[in-house]
């Protein structure tokens, strides 16, 4: 089905107190990044947060679901938390902080010059 741009804008607005959050469109859905770390997905107008121990501690009730077929389970965020700007921002920060910094990809040209 694909997510609506208005839902993505709503989530970005809810996370506006978080620094450096961007949404990148992927196959009609969206990945959310904070400081270069992918911490959430928006699929079919639902918000999924990457599972971490830090995130689990902040959730009163954990619901896991698949954001897309063949995916591993992610935390599906309920409407109450979607409306809680502070709680959602706290969860986003805790999740992003718990994730490792992504490794820099080297281009094929750079790899050849290293050889």
CATH at 107: 3.30.1460.30
Query: What is the count of structural domains for the chain?
Result: 1
- Residue 9 tokens read as 């804008």
Domain span at 19: 5-114
Quote the pLDDT of residue 25: 93
Using one digit for the tens of pLDDT, what is the confidence trace for 54-108? 999 999 899 999 999 999 999 999 999 999 999 999 999 999 999 998 887 776 6
From CA 108, how far away is CA 93, in angstroms rounded?
Answer: 34
**Rounded distance, CA 96 to CA 6, Å?**
23
Q: What is the predicted pLDDT for the residue at 19? A: 86
Residue 78, pLDDT score: 95
Amino acid 69: pLDDT: 92
């Amino acid at each position: 089905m694909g997510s609506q741009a208005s839902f993505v804008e709503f989530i970005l607005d809810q996370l506006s107190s978080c620094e450096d959050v961007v949404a990148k469109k992927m196959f009609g859905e969206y990945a959310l990044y904070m400081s270069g770390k992918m911490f959430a997905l928006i699929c079919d107008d639902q918000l999924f947060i990457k599972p971490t121990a830090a995130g689990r501690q902040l959730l009163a009730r954990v619901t896991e679901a698949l954001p897309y077929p063949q995916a591993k389970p992610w935390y599906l965020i309920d409407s109450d938390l979607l409306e809680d700007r502070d709680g959602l921002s706290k969860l986003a920060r805790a999740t992003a902080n718990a994730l490792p910094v992504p490794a820099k990809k080297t281009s094929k040209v750079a790899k050849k010059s290293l050889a």
